[in-house]
Amino acid sequence: MSQGVARPAPVVAIVGATGAVGVELLRCLEKRRFPLSQLRLFASARSAGRTLPFCGEALPVSELQEDSFTGVGIALFSAGAATSRRFAPLAVRAGATVIDNSSAFRMDPAVPLVVPEINADALREHRGIIANPNCCAIISITPLWPVQRANRIMRLMLATYQAASGAGAAAMEELREATRAYLDGRAYQQRVLPHPYAFNLFSHNTRIDPLTGYNEEETKVIQETRKIFGDPDIRVSATCVRVPVLRAHSVAITFECTRPITPGQVRELLQGAPGVRLVDDAERNHFPMPQDASGEDAILVGRIRQDVSDPQGRSIALFVAGDQLLKGAALNAVQIAEAL
Ligand SMILES: NC(=O)c1ccc[n+]([C@@H]2O[C@H](COP(=O)([O-])OP(=O)(O)OC[C@H]3O[C@@H](n4cnc5c(N)ncnc54)[C@H](OP(=O)(O)O)[C@@H]3O)[C@@H](O)[C@H]2O)c1
């Protein structure tokens, strides 16, 4: 019998290592003991010379250059769509497999868009680039997948409560500073987000499509749900809102299945489902909250109830909260790398 030859652990690169997602990528690789022979960190020229902690060492951050990918096996990108568009093809040409957190390639039919709990099979078709989905899409639909498999979802309506962390490290700092200024009675001029953030909320800070009236975040959730579920006919509508929460997104979800479904059936389907934890204690009024979800790998799901506006009994309402820096970004990317 022939013995399998163990493949050497790859060199891994993180592009955007100093960002909100980037530092979580480092933590996930360390926590999950991802097998790698070397970790290389890249960011913009602003960060060159900084170090970041990894496995007890201080790793240097280098400025991303066109020749940064020589010898790299896996490149985890989280530095915005423009950087991905320019550098991901160079990384692939140098022999790396790219896992990209940006929106640059998500809707490219040749690029798999993967949540490992849902469609790990799609990884087989990759041609060098794999896209990590939008954070709200991941957090909303990972808990719906067991339902989708048992009783196809025909229609899905989402309303998001999105944290500052979704807009990066600078937005988190803006929320801290704006809140301090508000409480001190000082004027504060926001620099990162378009509206006053402390003790306020506003429609998601992306461009509105004049034809549909949906903003880019809502459009991403709608389109990406269809691609990840492999179901072009699922009807999806979303309202995306930025709320003054530091970290972890929440989503109010209502969905309509093909056949009648009860909250008990949904609870049963979600009990022990991968990537999901039920937090559904009506007696103590304890349901998913961003503070509980922060730093957690699992997406919290609760408030599971019949949607009483559907006389056919095919609709369920529920509420989820998930750390979008983890399952909505870094953790999902590292899970993809593990699946590879
Ligand atoms: N935040 C989330 O929850 C989330 C979720 C899913 C996907 N994403 C996506 O992940 C990406 C990063 O998001 P983030 O929230 O981590 O943003 P962030 O906190 O603003 O970090 C951006 C990172 O990109 C680096 N960068 C910027 N321009 C660069 C350039 N020209 N060359 C090389 N590196 C560059 C920055 O380096 P410097 O520190 O040197 O500026 C920093 O490391 C974005 O594409 C975002 O859409 C974010």
DSSP letters, 9-43, are: PPEEEEETTTSHHHHHHHHHHHHTT---SEEEEEE
> How many whole angstroms separate alpha carbon 224 and alpha carbon 227?
5
Residue with tokens 């001029």: 189
pLDDT digits (tens, 9 = 90+) for 225-246: 999 999 999 999 999 999 999 9
> What is the predicted pLDDT for the residue at 180?
98
HSE-CB of 249 using CA atoms within 13 angstroms = 27
Q: At 7, is the pLDDT very low, low, confident or very high (cuts 50, 70, 90)?
A: confident
> How many whole angstroms separate alpha carbon 94 and alpha carbon 88?
10
Give the residue among 292, 293, 288, 291 at the shortest CA–CA distance from 304: 288
Residue 325 pLDDT more than 80? yes
Judge if the beta carbon of residue 135 lies within 6 A of ligand 1: yes
Alpha-helix runs per DSSP H in 32-122: 81-93, 116-119
Q: What is the mean pLDDT of the chain?
A: 96
Please give the model's pTM, rounded to 2 decimal places: 0.95
Residue 187 pLDDT more than 70? yes
Q: Which residue minimizes the CA distance to atom 10 of ligand 1? A: 78
27 is written with which tokens? 């933590």
134 is written with which tokens? 């939008």
Q: Which of 26, 50, 67, 101 to mutate to test the pocket of ligand 1 (most atoms within 8 A of CB)?
A: 101
Sort 159 into a burial class: Cβ within 10 Å, 0-12 / 13-18 / 19+.
middle
Q: Which of 28, 135, 136, 257 is catalytic?
A: 135
Q: What is the mean pLDDT of residues 61-84?
A: 98
> How many whole angstroms separate alpha carbon 85 and alpha carbon 168?
19
Residue 3 pLDDT more than 90? no
pLDDT digits (tens, 9 = 90+) for 261-320: 999 999 999 999 999 999 999 999 999 999 999 999 999 999 999 999 999 999 999 999
> How many whole angstroms separate alpha carbon 101 and alpha carbon 328?
9
What residues form DSSP beta bridges with 155? 235, 256
> How many whole angstroms separate alpha carbon 119 and alpha carbon 328?
15
Q: Which of 25, 78, 161, 173 to mutate to test the pocket of ligand 1 (most atoms within 8 A of CB)?
A: 78
> What is the predicted pLDDT for the residue at 204?
96
> How many whole angstroms separate alpha carbon 240 and alpha carbon 214?
9
> How many whole angstroms separate alpha carbon 295 and alpha carbon 303?
21
Q: At 8, is the pLDDT very low, low, confident or very high (cuts 50, 70, 90)?
A: confident
